[in-house]
Copies of this chain bind each other. A is one copy, B any other.
Amino acid sequence: MGLESIPVVTQSASDGLTGNAAAVLREIAARLESLAKEGQSGIIDLGAMPLSPADKAWLADKLGQGEVEINLELDGPSHVRETRYAGVWWLLHHNPQGAVTGEFIEITRIPELVLAHPADIISGSESLNFLIDDLC
């Protein structure tokens, strides 16, 4: 068996990297270019990717930390942080027991779940008007 038949992945595997993180980073870069040039948003489900813990750490290191950090309480705590690259957001969702239920990269001006929902604004407006009526 010649050296040339040894798969490259064997060499990378020593640090736990599979090579998939670099592929995901290229996908993020392609989608960020779409956002920059055409305003097209995108999403990548990290849970659907064959990423090792080392891959994920590598990806987090390459994307770095940006200026915005968001905590949400939905059906459990969610955490959204902007990476060093404006428009690239890392989302982590948990159930009420604290277990991770989803991990995504969103490429967009702001992840949709952070926006106040129109139906909630309407019911909030009604509630606030009721509160004010009670003050009088």
Contact = CB atoms under 8 A, between A and B. Distances in A.
B85 A129 contact: no
Interface of A: 22, 25-26, 28-29, 32-33, 35-36, 62, 67-74, 82, 84-88, 108-110, 114-118, 120-125, 127-129, 131-132, 135
Contacts of A84: 124, 127
Contacts of A71: 68-70
Contacts of A123: 86
A114 B72 contact: no
Contacts of A114: 68, 70, 110, 114
A86 to B, nearest CB: 4
B129 A87 contact: no
A87 B62 contact: no
Contacts of A109: 115-116, 118, 121
A131 B84 CA distance: 12
30 contacts: A22-B135, A25-B132, A26-B132, A32-B121, A32-B125, A35-B121, A36-B118, A36-B122, A36-B124, A67-B74, A68-B70, A69-B70, A69-B72, A70-B70, A70-B71, A84-B124, A84-B127, A86-B117, A86-B121, A86-B123, A86-B124, A87-B116, A87-B120, A87-B121, A87-B124, A109-B116, A109-B118, A110-B110, A110-B115, A114-B114
